[in-house]
């Protein structure tokens, strides 16, 4: 499915973010947030199937065509939430909805829980809560992160001789994606370098988290969501295979739909994108 897409830049006080703009100017305002190491092309199949929405599909900081954070800055989930809020401010959107996949869904839940007065609706795809850690694990977790930061200067990104090689590597990356999905992500995610191509993403994105929310913290954000929320779960996705999520979804005030497909079901093929759209269109149409 093809539709007119506008490339835009958003100059926040601390960073410039890139985004795709979909839909009519008078459509319902929606900010779309992709997953870890993905980019705005994550929504290239789904967004055209959501008529009536004005969708700003961001490249998160450090991803796609967006700038990398300054030296010494971090890529913590709440940093992304602050970026999204500043994007809404720049767009003049007092109230807006969030469409999030994977890490983007997690950031959406955190922002909606923290700022319920700003978020109209939550449309989530195979993502809900971050990986958690308890207090007794915190010292070891911080030590792991600090050691990785010290070692980062000596590491180099992989360079692929041809785009096809990079596409194949992405197919077997986090969550696994179809070839067509990997090609779409590569369109926006690769850059030419000496010897071939490498990913634009900031190398710091692969560092371990210095601190994780406890399960109680993560649950508190999900329970603080006040707006209507729908979660589409992929039957072969990451949440389906995670025992820590067993029984969690049923205890939250959100509508859950289970669809066949893997973690990137909205991007892997046209049928998956349409199935997700068939869930979200009635959800956004409710006054």
Position 3 scores a pLDDT of: 64
The number of residues in the chain equals: 287
The answer to whether residue 41 is domain-embedded is: yes
The answer to whether residue 172 is domain-embedded is: no
Position 286 scores a pLDDT of: 81
How would you label 152-163 residue by residue, b for 16+ Cβ within 10 Å and e otherwise?
eeeeeeeebeee
The answer to whether residue 121 is domain-embedded is: yes
Position 239 scores a pLDDT of: 81
Residues of the chain with pLDDT under 70: 1-3, 241-244, 246-247
Task: Look up the CATH number of the domain holding residue 117.
Answer: 3.40.50.1820
Position 173 scores a pLDDT of: 83
Q: How many domains does the chain have?
A: 1
The answer to whether residue 279 is domain-embedded is: yes
Are the CB atoms for 277 and 50 separated by under 8 Å?
A: yes
Q: Which domain holds residue 266?
A: 6-133+213-285
CB contact set of 164 (below 8 Å; sequence gap of 6+): none
Position 262 scores a pLDDT of: 95
The answer to whether residue 156 is domain-embedded is: no
Position 240 scores a pLDDT of: 74
The answer to whether residue 261 is domain-embedded is: yes
For residue 232, give the 3-state DSSP assignment: strand
Residue 15's φ and ψ, nearest 5 degrees, are -165, 155
pLDDT tens-digit profile of 184-208? Answer: 999 999 999 999 999 999 999 999 9
The answer to whether residue 23 is domain-embedded is: yes
Position 30 scores a pLDDT of: 98
The answer to whether residue 112 is domain-embedded is: yes
Position 241 scores a pLDDT of: 67
The tokens for 29 are: 């305002």
Position 251 scores a pLDDT of: 79
Q: Catalytic residue numbers?
A: 102
- The predicted model scores a pTM of 0.96
């Amino acid at each position: 499915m093809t539709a007119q897409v506008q490339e835009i830049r958003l100059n926040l006080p601390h960073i410039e973010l890139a985004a795709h703009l979909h839909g009519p100017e008078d459509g319902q305002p929606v900010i779309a947030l992709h997953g870890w190491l993905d980019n705005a092309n994550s929504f290239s199949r789904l967004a055209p199937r959501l008529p009536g929405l004005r969708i700003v599909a961001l490249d998160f900081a450090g991803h796609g065509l967006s700038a990398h954070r300054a030296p010494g800055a971090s890529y913590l989930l709440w940093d992304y939430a602050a970026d999204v809020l500043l994007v809404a401010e720049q767009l003049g959107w007092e109230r807006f909805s969030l469409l999030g996949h994977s890490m983007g869904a997690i950031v959406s839940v955190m922002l909606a829980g923290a700022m319920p007065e700003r978020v109209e609706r939550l449309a989530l795809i195979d993502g809900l809560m971050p990986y958690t850690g308890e207090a007794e694990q915190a010292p070891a977790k911080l030590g792991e992160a600090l050691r990785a930061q010290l070692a980062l200067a000596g590491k180099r990104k992989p360079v692929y001789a041809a785009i096809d090689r990079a596409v194949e590597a992405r197919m077997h990356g986090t969550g696994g994606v179809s070839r067509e999905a990997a090609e779409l992500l590569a369109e926006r995610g690769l850059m030419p370098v000496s010897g071939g191509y490498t990913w634009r993403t900031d190398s710091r994105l692969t560092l371990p988290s210095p601190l994780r929310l406890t399960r109680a913290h993560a649950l508190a954000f999900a329970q603080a969501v006040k707006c209507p929320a729908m979660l589409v779960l992929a039957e072969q996705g990451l949440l389906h295979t995670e025992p820590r999520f067993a029984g969690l979804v049923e205890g939250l005030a959100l509508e859950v739909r289970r669809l066949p497909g893997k973690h990137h079901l909205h991007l892997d093929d046209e049928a998956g994108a349409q199935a997700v759209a068939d869930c979200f269109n009635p959800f956004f149409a409710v006054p």
